Chain A
Amino acid sequence: MKSYKLEAVVVSFFVLLVFIASIGISYMKLTALIAAPFLIGFLVFVHVRNELLKKEIMLLLLAVLYKSFFVISLVFALGNYPGRDLLFGISLLVALLNICLSYIKFKNSDFAVVAILYINFLGGLAAVLPR
């Protein structure tokens, strides 16, 4: 639970950064572009340390993958780079796969709730950022 809280705080800071960059404040876009790899690195670190996920390597991989895809698709949406729709679609697909797996195979709703939150917040922001 503690790691989830930490993850929520760090990801919300990144969302705030993207949000400020989308307003047009100079050098915030560059900061968000450079912050994304660090955030992904942090997410990998948090997941590798998670005891529960260590037992389910498949879930761990999928969770890291969809979160990374969401972060990258948010950056793509911010810069309106080519391929933003493709990456957004893939991140949604991987997150949905994660939800299905955690519900059906592992009977664990916590991971599914986190995936839904990612879809709603990061996915929602990526979808509404102007083209």
Chain B
Amino acid sequence: MLKTFKQMITKKFFLPITAIIILLFCSCSKENDQPIPLQQNFSTKSEVLLKPAYFLMNDKNPYDKYGISTCSFYNDLAVLYGDEAYNDIEKFKEAFDILVEKHKSDLYPQVDTSEYFEGLEDKILKSFSDNVTYKNIKDLSFSIEKEILNNSDLSDFQRERLLCMISMMKFSYYYNIEISLIYGTFEDEVDDCMHSTLGQIFANDGNPWPEIEFVAGCPASYFWVLAKCVHQACQNSIK
């Protein structure tokens, strides 16, 4: 009697009970029940995570002084990223706005971008953004700044604007890489790479071929994407 009951339990109820447990676990959310008060003064909480990038300062670029002053903004931002209280996107946005307001005087001045996308300017900025890496950031930015200063085809207004933009790009690139080195794990890097690679393949761009290629090549195409991302993450961790 007991044996048949046991068999009935294992055979008839095992699968439904497993399914219910799986559904229960999946429906559990990790959100906190209690709202967390917004901390307005981030700097008092923070240790110094980022140091100003003095080595990126070029004497010939007057906008690089803002690159040094924005370090305090990125430092507070790094603290914000690491604070679990701001995992909720709405709370993070609120705190970010407060942070921007607090560091208003440290940030770069507004750039007039009217009539911007014209040949030469676009080419200079693109050559920087396409070729910049963590290793060559100093050499590349200095050479491009030299090119801007020596280029006679640029007007004074364009020259100022380009110097400001290059300075903004190099310092923000550097500080963002520093922040990602503080918090990014190997798993995060693989995950980010998977998101960006698959995002390009499954982009809603009206071209179905990358999607068709991926699906037709499955599972080999999945192996390839995963191998590429793991390799990339390994390369980054070696750096």
List residues of A whose CB falls within 8 A of some B CB: 19, 22-24, 26-27, 29-30, 33-34, 36-37, 40, 68-69, 71-72, 75-76, 79, 81-83, 86-87, 90, 124-125, 128-130
Contacts and interface: CB of A to CB of B under 8 A. Distances in A.
Given A29-B187, A71-B219, A128-B26, 12 more contacts: A19-B22, A22-B25, A29-B191, A36-B226, A40-B219, A72-B222, A83-B201, A83-B211, A86-B215, A87-B215, A128-B27, A130-B26
26 contacts: A19-B22, A19-B25, A22-B26, A24-B30, A26-B185, A26-B187, A30-B186, A30-B187, A33-B194, A36-B226, A37-B226, A40-B219, A68-B219, A69-B218, A72-B219, A79-B195, A81-B194, A82-B195, A82-B199, A82-B201, A83-B198, A83-B201, A90-B215, A124-B22, A125-B22, A130-B26
Contacts of A37: 219, 222-223, 226
Interface string B189-202: 01100110011011
Nearest to A27: B187
Contacts of A129: 26
Query: Which of B186, B214, B222 has the most A CB atoms < 10 Å from its CB?
Result: B222
A83 B22 contact: no
Contacts of B194: 33, 79, 81
Determine the main DSSP class of B at the interface with A.
helix
A23 B25 contact: yes
A71 B222 CA distance: 11
